[in-house]
Chains A and B, each alone.
Chain A
Amino acid sequence: MIINKKDTNTDFEVRSLDAIGKNQEAVELPMWHNLKYLAFGVAFGIVLIKSEVISWFRIQEMFRLQSFHMFGVIGSAVAVGALSVFLIKKLKIKSIHGEEIILPEKTFNKGQIYGGLLFGFGWAMTGACPGPMFAQLGYGAIATSVIILMAIVGTWVYGLIREKLPA
């Protein structure tokens, strides 16, 4: 199989494109099943706001090493996430639809460094990563809609020029 750069998958979040792993959920579920993700999103949004992760000030404190808060949030989230993934693999826990849980293996590409740095710049400027943006907007920071719109534009421009970028 000839893999040219155009077709190389660097986006392991979009699993229906991940030709290596099986696509999740072979069973076709009715649309209302997506409401569970809406509920998880609501819970996640509330936590992001109440822990002030959506605050520009908390992000500035993190990058100036003036507060432990954000490091504590991310660190303990990773600890709980890692323990969960370990248990899911160890105990071969299946999804509620009886399917084997598949976690994509990511491969290295330079985008993780270059793109990572660029996102880091944007994160420190806007004080918002993609999740908190939507929480900020819901919480009443209407001007955040500009940031969200520009993030969509940034994603679109990336898609337009990605073949010319080092990867």
Chain B
Amino acid sequence: MTFIELIKQPWPWYVAGPIIGLMVPALLIFGNKTFGISSSLRHVCAACLPAKIPFFQYDWKKEIWNLFFVFGIFLGGIITALYFKNDAAVVVDPKLMSELSGYGIVDFSGLVPADIFSWASLATPRGFILMVVGGFLVGFGTRYAGGCTSGHAIMGLSNLQLPSLIATISFMAGGFIMANLILPFILSL
């Protein structure tokens, strides 16, 4: 197996996790920046539509590094698609697979299920709720919590911040409630 073939395979957690963890010291040492992504959404609001809302009255240009970082993530996606794409179907837990087939989710060819996240699906109640309401909750919730998986779960926990532990437990609790108790109803719509 060549090196390129090797990196095209899905990476195990013990390779990916430590690299993600290294983002913390990299940003601190190279620019005294704390790792956190969801604030980029706030900067977009402050830049595009501040609308005299106090929360968006600040000099977003001082935080422009964050938008460069986010644009880099987007470029990383393009680069992976062009050069490191894994063409095999995504391996999904058999129990999850059979549960999802019951809701008509049968396309396991991509990392994002095409049966739910597509333009056609957006016009269905299920797709609309998952994409429009779900996206709204991600933006609203992360800013209300003051951070997301990167800012609280990784950066905050690395710095042993109790508020970040509380936030991370809340993220997980919300996810467990949604995935196990509410999502089955949404998926069966």
* Residues of A contacting B: mostly: helix
Any chain B CB within 8 A of the CB of A2?
Answer: no
Residue B182 CB within 8 A of the other chain: yes
Which residues of A59-80 have CB atoms within 8 Å of chain B's CB atoms?
A: 59-64, 66-80
User: Known: A13-B151, A16-B62, A139-B80. Contact between A50 and B68, CB under 8 A?
Assistant: no
Instruction: Find out whether the CB atom of B17 lies under 8 angstroms from the CB atom of A77.
Output: yes
* Interface of chain A residues 16 through 68 with chain B (CB within 8 A): 16-17, 23-25, 31, 33-64, 66-68
A97 to chain B: which residues have CB within 8 Å? 31-32
**With known contacts A108-B162, A119-B142, A69–B13 Cβ distance under 8 A:** yes
Question: Secondary structure at chain B's binding surface: helix, strand, loop or mixed?
Answer: helix
Q: Which of B62, B66, B131 contacts A150 (CB 8 A)?
A: B131
The answer to whether B112 and A105 touch across the interface, beta carbons within 8 angstroms, is: no
**Interface, chain B (partner A; CB < 8 A):** 7, 10-45, 49, 51, 53-56, 58-59, 62-66, 68-81, 84, 86, 90, 92-93, 95-96, 100, 108, 110-113, 116-119, 121-122, 129-164, 166-180, 182-183, 186
In the complex, 6 of the A-B residue pairs with CB atoms within 8 angstroms, ordered by the A residue number, are A40-B23, A47-B11, A85-B24, A116-B171, A129-B148, A135-B76
Interface, chain A (partner B; CB < 8 A): 6, 10-17, 23-25, 31, 33-64, 66-82, 84-85, 87-88, 93, 95-97, 99, 101-109, 111-131, 133-144, 146-160, 162, 165
